[in-house]
Structure 1
């Protein structure tokens, strides 16, 4: 169980969710189980890392996808639209744009405190000072007026803590300067410790409870205020507020231990052995230049092959020697003992914390306020999905068996788990030859995709993405682009920082971070900020149509897109296009979910609903009508032929059901590991993993193989503990909404307005 006072901090990776009551409470295909985002990341069909040059676009005589004009087009809109493409496609264009107007030096995200690493400590202390004043006011609440404003006060308290926690968490995971990383971590830890104390502060709970059970006070609240109040009250009770003092101290201690172990588990994920050695001639089948490019080839002809990453994946796909591939696969399945210890200690402490607050398991605690409600409901749902998906997955695997039979001239062969990548690669290459190698990345330069997202949002919601120059100190790397989100009716409504380019040392996993949520700022708070030394933190704010001042959602998108050799224009594979649409789905939830309360803004919703907007965006990425808004060849500007798209989509769906089935197994593993079994003296996470693999695995293990300890790499167990089923549940919801609302006219303003008004604008309300 995570501590829970500021309800829920969404730092997507969205898999990093906690709550002040939930704050004050949030891989690769050569592994058995991977999340869909990581799958997309790994499927850069070796070429992006391993081949030299760019595959030429095949000549296909097909009808091009039609390109409707964007709505509400003005000369300014057209300028912004063209600029959006150029700054992502051309480094020179961005350099020229960003240097047009000299700007004064500022801090990260224009936060006036964050000009130096030490500014994080000053920023944290400033927010803690304000937070303590709010705590004192709520704790001393006696009058009716005090109780009427208590929801607003607690929401501000949540926001003050999350301002530091969300921003610091992002910087400590992203910033290239270790001095900033260390300072951000210190700021995070200081606020996190204070938050843990607040989780068990009885005076806050007593004041809130008094307000919630006073009919006169409640009569002054609207439905959203009542809902936020109920949530805060439930979160306090879930966090052991009624425990004896000694147990409260244990709660705080366990919460801190869980946070530390979780970070260690995520940061230390590695195989037991980072390299495996082979003679060069044992790697027959791999691209020769790939072998020669390895930096640790000795004069004796021994190759040090990294166990994880694109080179290892390429080896599993192409090396002809079964024993070599098996050795690589075996090493990939074996997590280090240290990593397993981190995981099992984390699981045991979560289970202990759950027992401390009267629940049988961590999963039971986590699910109590989610859509699924209970571990039993989740398990029933997952087993239902297994039964539905298994026959479809088995049918897909017949292609692998057929390929093995063809290559080795044997009847009804068994394909083992370690052989999957090899035979799947053969099947994919065969399909590409039959279909004419439908590479469509030339139609998806990063600039055109960003342009397409803006045009889609203009059609659906009347908002657009506008490039904005950054000030010195505002961004953490020169590759970062800032976009302001502009509404036709409300003006400036959000800020998005796009860190999308590949670079050394960068975490390659795609992610969405909410650095700061939307929230209404009342006049009393404005006056208070003016009286503070130096004023507010300086981050973006704007007034809405009613004149209410809002702090604007501030979002960071992280991807790892590469540029082809010899080119300055990044070209995206179709899986990468889908990934960018997915992450932007989280962003649009934050952008449009501009609620009065921080507690329910944007992605601060039940975790098993948070993936719905992002998965729905994947449907848009595959719709011809949407692709018609932007998909053009980066050199010739020719539109993407429909036939070429259909061929690429066909290849992408070769193992669609098998991937879904693996996701379900991953979610079952998550439930098993977060059950009450974690407190058993003989608890063994490796045995849990192997038992599931034996019972439900799609492909058998090699004879005599006992299985691996891959769960040690399943880092989502920390952020999504007990909630990994969310992706499957939200996929079912997204599929249904797509069919009932958008099929037929996916760029319809009527459909977009309906979805915006009925879902997005409410955030987590």
Structure 2
């Protein structure tokens, strides 16, 4: 079988066109066997434990397993189908069992512990020390020091959690795909952008019905919420979006949420931590739940007065404009957009015409070159998993190959919502040979139609820059070990490179590189750039308390004993009490579709977005001071942050770049919630 299975052959790049669904499970099973052999060889060797024969050997053990599972789980997010989802349910427990077998391997841990206990006598460089600390902590944080009985409990918990997390995500995707709002009368779509109507009409034709079909994909959902004049339509869409995995059907996630938080708590307790948040934050810049709550509360205290003022203005505007006296959640985006247009005369549809996807990609590459001297050249020979996927060779100005970059931009039925960066291979050095990374970003931007190309909203432009910032972190990595490379850093530091990149979207010097009208090629007028900049802080108070509320909801699930919680919705309402300004919708629930914390890795970590915003605002103040393309500042950021990965403590890396710790007021200044520095 291995002869016929492309995943079990040697390959430089994922052989997507040769892979069939049936190949995944046998490949993962075989790769698991091979990885187990590698581990046994390391653990049971007769030679005395050394950094090289134990830590380094472990770092590169099970290489094929890593390659195969990355391909599999990346496809499960970007190009899934029922067969892949079934395989995911089958292999996840096997992978969880392997991970536990590895982390609870007594002989292996004894070797690691022996090296760890004598580390002060070993001549290790800072990266080797960091790897040793990381591996030792990884073992102890996963039960290596527990008694046998407790280790068995831990194994069982991890197995359940891996399956529940998968089920959670599959339910959300199924609910997203199941929602279709069939509109026959075009008048109901009054105000909705033509590009969205085109897509909805195309989908209706594919489904062989008359009229239009609206979905919950972001390129459809957000424009409808912002521009549809029909209040009834907005209400249906918002209620559909908010009810994902909260309906009385087989995809309801309420039990999954309760099971996940209880198992996480049980796991933390087994390992000697008070809560799951305490466990997670030991390996974060924030360190403790108290620090996180203090941080979120400080931001909330400073932003809430502005948020209330903005909210009152919005309600008054809706009443004055359309006699809306019972302002609801489905009104907020619509009247925000109308008020924004009135205040700044900024029409998002007009703005989109300057952000044709190919031009934005080209501009993104130019910005990256000006900052970090990287070049991108399309490569049509590398295999892809879908015709939409683009591939680029990345080189520096001396022609040195840096990375392979995959980009997948448009929504499909088998693709989950949102945007993310992932890797098929990390950068590392092995046996004196440097291996360069294979990096991918996946987004959900409006597809080109017969009438016009893919035109991005300004929010989509910032999303692209954001994910590309993550990609740069991986592409420019310059470390020895894959587990310390690129974005393998603390989760409240990982968003710094991505959020920093968004700042260039607001700068004239950057925008003129790519913001060109898709028909006339006219560069975006200065007055429009000024409107973008002036409007960038529009409703920033409301936006800030929204982000804080998500962080607080996350902590409310993970910074306590959740065993008394029986009602997901009631718990959520309590968590939102301080930040909620609008009437609740009983049929909607955020937690049941909150993939970041129940499917992704952000449990007890959603605060990271705001935390990293402080870092990025503080960092960009230096760029503003020196010049947004100042080569010395960019070089310092590249050398001290982007290339270093997780080889040093994040605060040390940040201070090496900035010369000081980040100042939280930088974020509030940028958001217009504090007066700017004189």
TM range (shorter): 0.7 to 0.9
Is residue 760 of structure 1 aligned with residue 627 of structure 2? no
Look up the match of 1:456.
367
2: distance between equivalents of 1:423 and 1:501? Answer: 28
Q: Provide TM-score, normalisation by structure 1.
A: 0.73
2: distance between equivalents of 1:634 and 1:439? Answer: 11
Look up the match of 2:148.
245
Q: Relative to structure 1, is the Cα distance of residues 359 and 286 closer, same or farther in structure 2, using a 3 angstrom cutoff?
A: same
Q: Retained in 2: the 8 A contact 1:351–1:674?
A: yes
Q: CA deviation at 1:214?
A: 2.5
Q: Relative to structure 1, is the Cα distance of residues 726 and 161 closer, same or farther in structure 2, using a 3 angstrom cutoff?
A: farther
Is residue 676 of structure 1 aligned with residue 560 of structure 2? yes
Q: Relative to structure 1, is the Cα distance of residues 113 and 275 closer, same or farther in structure 2, using a 3 angstrom cutoff?
A: closer
Look up the match of 1:575.
459
2: distance between equivalents of 1:324 and 1:469? Answer: 43
Q: Relative to structure 1, is the Cα distance of residues 143 and 578 closer, same or farther in structure 2, using a 3 angstrom cutoff?
A: same
1: distance between equivalents of 2:233 and 2:518? Answer: 40
Q: Relative to structure 1, is the Cα distance of residues 163 and 573 closer, same or farther in structure 2, using a 3 angstrom cutoff?
A: same
Look up the match of 1:236.
139
Q: Retained in 2: the 8 A contact 1:113–1:119?
A: no
Q: Relative to structure 1, is the Cα distance of residues 396 and 176 closer, same or farther in structure 2, using a 3 angstrom cutoff?
A: same
1:617 corresponds, among 474, 488, 501, to 501
More deviation, 748-757/115-124:
115-124
2:619 corresponds, among 721, 737, 747, to 737
Q: Retained in 2: the 8 A contact 1:417–1:700?
A: yes
Tell me, which stretches of 5 or more residues in structure 1 are unaligned? 1-105, 523-547
Is residue 710 of structure 1 aligned with residue 590 of structure 2? yes
2: distance between equivalents of 1:499 and 1:273? Answer: 23
Summarize deviations over 1:326-353 as a string: whole Å, max 9, x none: 5665555442252111111111111111
Q: Retained in 1: the 8 A contact 2:216–2:237?
A: yes
Cα RMSD, aligned residues only = 3.7
2: distance between equivalents of 1:158 and 1:428? Answer: 54
More deviation, 478-487/267-276:
267-276
Q: Retained in 2: the 8 A contact 1:500–1:560?
A: yes
Look up the match of 2:664.
none
1:602 corresponds, among 464, 486, 489, to 486
2:379 corresponds, among 443, 465, 468, to 468
Look up the match of 1:632.
516
More deviation, 571-580/504-513:
504-513
Q: CA deviation at 1:616?
A: 0.2
2: distance between equivalents of 1:201 and 1:163? Answer: 23
Q: Retained in 1: the 8 A contact 2:103–2:109?
A: no
SS in 2 for 1:440: helix
Is residue 368 of structure 1 aligned with residue 279 of structure 2? no
SS in 1 for 2:404: strand
Summarize deviations over 1:493-533 as a string: whole Å, max 9, x none: 211111123445433421111222112111xxxxxxxxxxx
Q: CA deviation at 1:388?
A: 1.1
Counterparts of 1:24-423 in structure 2, within 5 Å, are 110-111=13-14, 115-117=18-20, 118-121=22-25, 123-125=27-29, 127-144=31-48, 146-157=50-61, 159=63, 161-175=65-79, 190-214=94-118, 218-269=121-172, 270=175, 274=179, 293=201, 295=204, 329-330=238-239, 332-334=241-243, 335-337=246-248, 338-407=252-321, 415-423=327-335
1:728 corresponds, among 610, 613, 624, to 610
Summarize deviations over 1:26-55 as a string: whole Å, max 9, x none: xxxxxxxxxxxxxxxxxxxxxxxxxxxxxx
SS in 1 for 2:130: helix
Look up the match of 2:3.
none
Counterparts of 1:411-560 in structure 2, within 5 Å, are 415-431=327-343, 434=345, 439-471=350-382, 474-489=383-398, 491-522=400-431, 548-560=432-444
- Number of aligned pairs? 624
Q: Relative to structure 1, is the Cα distance of residues 271 and 341 closer, same or farther in structure 2, using a 3 angstrom cutoff?
A: farther
SS in 2 for 1:151: helix
Q: Retained in 2: the 8 A contact 1:107–1:116?
A: no
More deviation, 585-594/691-700:
691-700
Q: Retained in 2: the 8 A contact 1:484–1:495?
A: yes
Q: Retained in 2: the 8 A contact 1:369–1:606?
A: yes
Q: Retained in 2: the 8 A contact 1:108–1:476?
A: no
Q: Retained in 2: the 8 A contact 1:593–1:762?
A: yes
Q: CA deviation at 1:724?
A: 0.4
Q: Which fold has the larger relative contact order, with Cα–Cα distance below 8 Å and residues 6 or more apart in sequence?
A: 1
Q: Retained in 1: the 8 A contact 2:177–2:413?
A: no
Look up the match of 1:53.
none
